[in-house]
Amino acid sequence: MSSRPPLAPANPALLAELAACGSAREGALLLLSTLATQVGASRACLAWWHRGHAVADAQWASPEAPDTAALLPTQLGAALDEAIDQGVSLSWPPIGADHDAWVTLAHRTLAQRLDGAVLSVPLPAGHTPTGAIGLEWARGSPPITPAVQQFIEATVAQCAPLLALQRQAQRPWHWHLRQAARRRWHDLKSHEHPWRRRGLTLAALVLAALALVPLPDRIGGRGRIEGAEQRVLVAPSDGFIKATHVHPGDRVKAGQVLADLADLAEQDLKLERDKWSSQMAQHENSYAGAMTRADRADAAMSLAKVQEAQAQLALVDEQLQRSQLNAPFDGVVIQGDLSQSIGAPVRQGDALLTVASTRHYRVIIEVDETDVGKVHVGQTGALALSALPWDTLDLRVVRITPLAQAREGRNVFEVQAEFTGPVPPEVRPGLMGQAKVVVGQGPWLWTLVRPLLERARLGLWSWWG
């Protein structure tokens, strides 16, 4: 019987060589060959624990070793299962006095079939082993001593974590995902952190409520208030601005003078008015004298001339009155600041002031083209103004403009709505805010996800065809 060479302590250089290996299988072969050579084993095998059984991953055999490959999936696998299940190193022939405390039936059967000795060492990793290394010695080899077993266990304990990391690094992404899910599930079942289960349960209930409980589905966009009736006041004739009495934002009454204009022929009109006034006075005197004389023919002629003078005088007065801009109804001035244009010339038809009615308002909502198909006449909604952010005004859709307009790089449709409730006195044309129209009911989660899915579907269709 040959003697076994003295064993060297665990070599740190072996860890460096294992770290340089490109795969876990390559590292396992390096460990098996180095370990078997140092302890004089004829064959070595590394198996990983998978679904309750040891599955061989790497094998090494010396050139002089007998062919026992047929034993590996049966007797050798059963021996490795014994070591992994019990979590201790097992051998046959037994080493030490406590071998009766462990089950070694598979090791004894394997050793008898090989007519040699076997040793199985679990790969330590956390609470339970992840695999095991099995070594075989041929007949006539030196007996396995406790020192040899301790050397093998120390070497395996040093190299097992590195092999496990290399094996995990080669795992596919879905394996890592399952492992992460299992760890999270284990953490949730742990009694050390009950608040995690409570938080997850609460989050699940909230998510279920958002996904199942129907809520009003609202769409909308920017909204602005306009007067239901607006009037543009223009220059009646060529002239210049003489005076202004209002500014944008002022409330006015019907008939109130808003601005005075000076007509280029105003002086001629005044002279003509004086002329017709004097002629009318003369004809009235002639008519009175003819009536005194009972001259009906002369009286009829004088009366006709009086009526002609009255018509001409009314025409001149009408032309003089056109030099004033009057409010057509009760409202507010929303456009036209003439205070900076006193004395400026104007031409007939030039827009000078815009007055909006304050009796009725309309709301213009800019709805994106992706949502306008869900809006229909009669639907209700609400408007929150920037000037009154804490108050909402009830709306009802009355008209949908069928033409799109480009606003800030997107197409929008103007939806016209009216107020259905009382309007605060602070509301006036020109105010802007955010309007929402209720287009139906649906879960809040679906309402949030639906625009993303619609855009994705449109993008996929445009790309896929």
What count of other Cβ atoms lies within 10 Å of the Cβ of residue 412?
20
Cα separation, 357 vs 252, in Å, equals: 10
Render pLDDT for 12-48 as a digit per residue (tens, 0 to 9): 778 888 888 888 888 888 888 888 888 888 888 888 8
* Mean pLDDT for all residues in the chain: 81
* Exposed / middle / buried, residue 66 (Cβ in 10 Å: 0-12, 13-18, 19+): middle
pLDDT of residue 435: 93
- Which of 10, 47, 43, 53 has the alpha carbon at shortest distance from 25? 47
Cα separation, 15 vs 20, in Å, equals: 9
Rounded mean pLDDT, 273-280 = 76
Residue 210 has pLDDT above 80, yes or no: no
Distances (CA, A) of 136 to 48, 96, 142: 18, 18, 12
Render pLDDT for 77-111 as a digit per residue (tens, 0 to 9): 888 888 888 888 888 888 766 667 788 888 888 88
Residue 5 has pLDDT above 60, yes or no: no
Higher pLDDT, 66 or 237: 237
Q: Is 159 within 8 Å of 46 (Cβ atoms)?
A: no
pLDDT of residue 67: 59
Residue 137 makes CB contacts below 8 A (sequence gap 6+) with: 40, 41, 42, 116, 117, 118, 119, 144
pLDDT of residue 436: 92
Residue 59 has pLDDT above 50, yes or no: yes
What count of other Cβ atoms lies within 10 Å of the Cβ of residue 378?
7
- Which of 419, 253, 250, 425 has the alpha carbon at shortest distance from 330? 253
**Residue 189: which H helix or E strand, with range?**
helix 173-189
The per-residue b/e assignment along 121-138, b for 16 or more CB within 10 angstroms, e otherwise, is bbbbeeeebbbbbbbbbb
User: How many CA atoms lie within 13 Å of 20's alpha carbon, on the beta-carbon side?
Assistant: 6
Q: Is 7 within 8 Å of 151 (Cβ atoms)?
A: yes
Residue 267 has pLDDT above 70, yes or no: no
Cα separation, 225 vs 393, in Å, equals: 11
Q: Is 136 within 8 Å of 117 (Cβ atoms)?
A: yes
Cα separation, 280 vs 306, in Å, equals: 5
User: How many CA atoms lie within 13 Å of 179's alpha carbon, on the beta-carbon side?
Assistant: 8
pLDDT of residue 262: 73
What count of other Cβ atoms lies within 10 Å of the Cβ of residue 392?
17
pLDDT of residue 271: 67
Residue 417 has pLDDT above 90, yes or no: yes
- Which of 121, 175, 167, 171 has the alpha carbon at shortest distance from 28? 167
The residues facing 325 across adjacent strands are 259
Q: Which long-range contacts (CB under 8 A, 24 or more apart) does 301-309 make?
A: 305/279, 306/280, 309/276, 309/277, 309/279, 309/280, 309/283
Give me the percent of the chain exceeding a pLDDT of 70.
90
pLDDT of residue 1: 42
Phi/psi of residue 152, each to 5°?
-65, -45
- Unique residue bearing structure tokens 């290394």: 133
Render pLDDT for 64-79 as a digit per residue (tens, 0 to 9): 766 555 445 567 788 8
Rounded mean pLDDT, 275-287 = 77
Residue 265 has pLDDT above 60, yes or no: no
Q: Is 136 within 8 Å of 43 (Cβ atoms)?
A: yes
Render pLDDT for 353-403 as a digit per residue (tens, 0 to 9): 888 887 788 899 999 888 888 899 999 999 999 888 888 899 999 999 888
Cα separation, 244 vs 324, in Å, equals: 10
Cα separation, 17 vs 39, in Å, equals: 19
pLDDT of residue 322: 62
Asked whether the CA dihedral 366, 370, 371, 375 is positive or negative, the reply is positive
Rounded mean pLDDT, 115-121 = 87
pLDDT of residue 99: 65
Q: How many Å separate Cα 40 from the centre of its chain?
A: 66
* Exposed / middle / buried, residue 244 (Cβ in 10 Å: 0-12, 13-18, 19+): buried
Q: Is 300 within 8 Å of 286 (Cβ atoms)?
A: no
Query: What tokens were used for 218?
Result: 């609202």
- Unique residue bearing structure tokens 């001629």: 268
Residue 294 has pLDDT above 90, yes or no: no
Q: Is 27 within 8 Å of 162 (Cβ atoms)?
A: yes
Render pLDDT for 312-360 as a digit per residue (tens, 0 to 9): 777 766 666 667 788 888 888 888 888 888 888 888 788 888 888 877 8
